[in-house]
Structure 1
Amino acid sequence: MASSHIHVLGLDDKNLATLRKLPGADPYRFHGLLTRAELQDAETPVPALLERAERVLARAEAEPDAIVGYWDFPVSLMVPLLCARHGLRGPDLEAVLKCEHKYWSRLEQREVMDEVPWFALVDPDEENTVPDDIPFPVWLKPVKSYASQLALRAADRKEFDAALARIRDEAGAIGDRLADVLDLVPLPEQIEAAGPRACLAEEELSGAQATVEGYSQGGRVTVYGVVDSVPYPGKSSFLRYQYPSSLPAHLVRQLEDVTKRVISRFGLDDATFCVEYFCLPEKGRFSLLEINPRHSQSHAELFELVDGIANHHCMIRLALGENPQLPFRQGRFEVAAKWFLRRFTDGTVTARAGDAEIAELEADLDGVRVRPLVDAGTRLSEAPHTHDSYSYELAHLYIGAHDEQELRRKYDQCVSALGFHVEEVP
């Protein structure tokens, strides 16, 4: 059987192991295309990253059969650019930009759905930019960010000004990278006038959070799962992603219907996606938070544990022009979760369980994988890719169970066995 050479932007060991377990993966040859550190270095312009990627592809043993990626910006925007250059299947760049650019996305959503929250464009370089009708509290975000970085909550005008000042100081590199890509497509007048460094103010949403995952192929939009996103009590940072969703079936159907309508409106095709919502199940209401033109690699193990195959399967099959359909409830467990062990103040890790102890824990608990993110001696604020605007991640715990009680029990056992100790920073 002929090999298929699949180049993966930001390929890492964890996801490589997941990709190699996909059904029919024997003829697949996975090649890393730049590292995650290279791709998410905000100082490197997107054109320079594309040039580096092209140099790697030019040295490859064979022409690529697919170029894919599961990370956020700039990977999500590089995939359509590289696929177009090499004549490969991939999403349209303009469709991806409509998803990625928060203001453009809101304008498009408003054309096909009623469940759009209050929002307003804000120029961080202008004085007195607070809209008159602003419904505090709000969230302030650059029109492009990733991993919840620089997503800041403001309860009043003072906090709004402070958040805007921080974004003004820290978001320049992201804006520059976005500008590199915006220059490649014809922009609507409103988007061109906004510029790449604008911010979006949005009303604060409440309720249960859920993410709808799916794909579009040949203009047909398919939803394959809904995942709950459960925050720490009283916090905005997530405690766990849990699959399948515990939302009422009728609300899940509503989310699926509006997701299909929105994805079709955006023209996103030959692509996976995940769309995030806030839901009020008791009222049967929901609001759309964000559209991502990629599936969530954080959910891969959850689909594998419950349905039998990781969602990476859809990404690979779409790129190769094959059937991306996932099985349904063919996994070993009825419920699965990715837990985030976090700390909400900075500090230095002084102790945690070693590799041998973690291996023993995984052997004792069926359906458990533990991935520590920081080692002893690490200052939390200095660890890359492990914190959002309000918290620091210590470990990821992937747990499959037969019911929610077992899921929580396994989580508690893992936290105890990991034995993290963190010393406060003066």
Structure 2
Amino acid sequence: MSRQFFVFGMAPMHREYLNAVRGAENFHWLKLFTDDEIVWFPERPMAELLALAEQQVKAYNGDVAGIINHWDFPSSTLHPILCQQHGFRSADLLAVLKCEHKYWSRLEQRKALPDWVPDFCAVDPFAEDPLEQLQFGFPFWLKPIVGHSSQLGFRIDDEAGFRRAIDIIRTEVRQLGELLNFALARVEVPPEVGAVDGNWCVAEKLLTGKQCGIEGTMVNGRYRVHGIVDTVKDSRNQSFTRYEYPSAWPEYAQEKICAAGEALLRQIGFDNSAFGIEFFWDPASDTFRVLELNTRISQSHSDQFVKVHGVSNHEAALDVALDRETDFSALQGEFRCAAKFMLRRYRNTVVTRVPDEAELRALERSIPGCRIHPIVTEGQQLGDLPGQDSYSYEIADICLGAQSQEELLSTYRDLAQQLHFEFADGKGFEAFQFDSVRY
């Protein structure tokens, strides 16, 4: 008899990756919300989202073995609440909130790794003069206390930029902030966090260097990293352009961040969950910094794991629920390296042409392992796209595999030139997103 798992925000492509786990014929996947309902600024309040999820899980009569999450907030916070109610394995809510609440998380990180944390301070965007709360000078990043995909995140270079960002944040921050406040009310928030709730922001000094993330599991106190993925930005250091696996960082740097990840999770009391932790490394000064902690595997990494190991990273989420030890080291896929590329435009305009199905499938057939997923539709204003960062618009996701990084990047550049998107401003794709560093 197959074992049943609810999956937050399961789209058709996720079902394919879920079925790319060993023994997939023994599992059955049940959708818990669509990705539109749970990912991009959900319109329902947290209490309603939780009630709907509880109702769906409770009403199911099959043998449910667990709940899988591969998205950020709010499903990351709904996950431990539901798992605790139904006796499924997960991290507890307190530990999850110590990761999701960016200011609280920085306080915990500083306790575990004081030299790995940039200067930071909390900022109330609704204060009479938020500028007075800053504890350091320009430049810095300003981010909401809770969020994902760099939404409402701004690089601040001067006072005028700060005030422009605050005006935007004031209009939108409560969409996720109030959802977080619902969860914060269920735990005891320490005095050091104080009044800093989901509608606040955190200002952080800039991090420099290369970005990389470890993904792993903590099960019954056993810490294990199953993959290290490079997160690469464009040459202007504005927007993410690819997630590349495996990491091209030197071995000693990878060992350093793996050890740091364990120290962070044990400080937070994080256990019985998958995780992802992002770091920066500056080769010039050989310094390391923590960027953020995530409480799940990343669905953005699934295709890379399939290409390199022959199985999806969803296997790690299953291993947590089933009390198994994740180990991909003996597995081998078709490619030696792989990446998910984010093809972008950096100016707001209207999409006037999108490649049709026949064009896309022909291109995919011409490149082994290629997958092309357009984000936009014809006639769409880029500024209306949900879930974008503050500097660009994601046009398409492209998944590729190769036998070397040089081949991987070359194939992507050639493919982007063959994708016939057109825009009302008459311009194509900006070249600076293709000249990212190779490490």
TM-score, normalized by length of structure 2?
A: 0.93
Q: Moved runs in structure 1, 4+ residues, more than 6 A?
A: none
The residue identity in structure 2 corresponding to 1:67 is I
Q: How many residues are paired up?
A: 423
Partner of 1:407: 408
- What is the CA-CA distance between 1:383 and the residue it aligns to? 3.0
Shift of 1:391: 0.8
Match of 1:194 in 2: 196
Quote the Cα distance in structure 1 between the aligned partners of 2:354 and 2:400.
19
- Secondary structure at the aligned position of 1:111 is classed as helix
Mapped contact 1:353–1:417 kept (Cα < 8 A): no
What is the CA deviation profile of residues 62-104 of structure 1, one whole-angstrom value per residue up to 9, with x for unaligned ones? 1421112111100000110000111111111100000000010
Asked if structure 2 preserves the Cα contact closer than 8 Å seen for 1:8 and 1:33, the reply is yes
Distance in 2 (alpha carbons) for counterparts of 1:57 and 1:244: 36
CA distance in 2, matches of 1:323, 1:223: 10
Could you tell me which amino acid in structure 1 is paired with residue 205 of structure 2?
E
User: Separation in 2 of the partners of 1:329 and 1:87?
Assistant: 32
1:280 counterpart residue number? 282
For residue 103 of structure 1, what is the amino acid of its counterpart?
A: Y
Partner of 1:259: 261
**C-alpha displacement at 1:39, in angstroms?**
1.7
What root-mean-square deviation, in Å, do the aligned CA atoms of Structure 1 and Structure 2 show? Answer: 1.6
SS class of match (1:397) = strand
Cα deviation code 1:30-81 (max 9, x no counterpart):
0001112222343311110011112222332414211121111000001100
The 8 Å contact of residues 341 and 396 in structure 1, kept in 2 or not, is answered as yes
Q: What fraction of aligned residue pairs are identical, expressed as a percent?
A: 37
Residue in structure 2 matched with residue 358 of structure 1 by the alignment: 360
Partner of residue 382, structure 1: 384
2:300 aligns with 298
Counterpart of 2:187 in structure 1 is 185
- Once residues 175 and 45 of structure 1 are traced to their aligned partners in structure 2, the CA distance between those partners, rounded to angstroms, is 11
Conservation of the 8 A alpha-carbon contact between 1:313 and 1:326: no
Show the counterpart of 2:242: 240
The DSSP-based 3-state class of the residue aligned with 1:212 is: strand
| Structure 1 contact 346–424 (Cα < 8 Å) conserved | no
Matches within 5 A, 1:33-112: 33-40=32-39, 41-112=41-112
Q: Distance in 2 between matches of 1:224 and 1:250?
A: 17
Give the equivalent residue in structure 2 for 1:27. 26
**Is 1:420 aligned to residue 421 of structure 2?**
yes
Equivalent residue in structure 1 for 2:146, among 114, 138, 144? 144
Deviation at 1:324, TM superposition (A): 2.7
| Aligned equivalent of 1:225, options 215, 224, 227 | 227
Provide structure 2 residue ranges, at least 5 long, that are not aligned to the other structure: 427-439
Give secondary structure in 2 for the equivalent of 1:234: coil
**C-alpha distance in 2 between matches for 1:151 and 1:145:** 9
Q: Secondary structure at the match of 1:44?
A: coil
Letter in 1 for 2:20: K
* 8 Å contact from structure 1 (residues 314, 326) kept in 2: no
Contact 1:368 1:399 in 2 (8 A): yes
- Superposed displacement of residue 424, structure 1: 2.9
Structure 2 counterpart of 1:110, one-letter code:
R
CA distance in 2, matches of 1:124, 1:92: 30
349, 371, 376: which is aligned to 2:373?
Answer: 371
Contact 1:309 1:327 in 2 (8 A): no
Q: Contact (CA 8 Å) 2:224, 2:326: kept in 1 or not?
A: no
1:6 aligns to what? 5
Q: Which segment is superposed worse, 137-146 or 55-64? A: 55-64
Contact 1:308-1:327 within 8 A present in 2 as well:
no
2:19 maps to 1:17 = no
Aligned-pair distance for 1:325?
2.5
Q: Is the 8 A contact 2:226 2:326 kept in 1?
A: no
Distance between the aligned counterparts of 2:247 and 2:279, measured in 1? 12
Show the counterpart of 1:307. 309
Q: SS state of the match for residue 65, structure 1? A: strand
CA distance in 2, matches of 1:99, 1:85: 21
TM-aligned CA deviation for residue 9 of structure 1:
1.1
Residues 137 and 156, structure 1, Cα contact 8 Å, conserved in 2: yes
AA aligned opposite 1:364: S
Distance 1:116 1:247 in 2: 20
| Equivalent position amino acid for 1:13 in 2 | P
Taking the aligned partners of 1:226 and 1:194, their CA distance within structure 2 comes to 32
Q: What is the CA–CA distance in structure 2 between the aligned matches of 1:380 and 1:256, rounded to whole Å?
A: 38
> Could you say what secondary structure the match of 1:168 adopts?
helix
> CA–CA distance in 2 between the matches of 1:140 and 1:384?
20
Cα pair 2:5 2:28 within 8 Å, conserved: yes
The one-letter amino acid of 1:112's match is A
- Alpha-carbon contact 2:335-2:402 (below 8 Å) kept: yes
The superposition leaves residues 264-322 of structure 1 with CA deviations (integer Å, 9 ceiling, x where unpaired) of 11111111111111111232211111111111111111122112222111011211223
User: How many Å apart are 1:329 and its aligned residue?
Assistant: 5.8
Residue 138 of structure 1 deviates from its aligned partner by 0.6
Residue 328 of structure 1: how far off its partner (Å): 4.7
State the SS of the aligned residue for 1:384.
coil
Contact 2:219 2:272 in 1 (8 A): yes
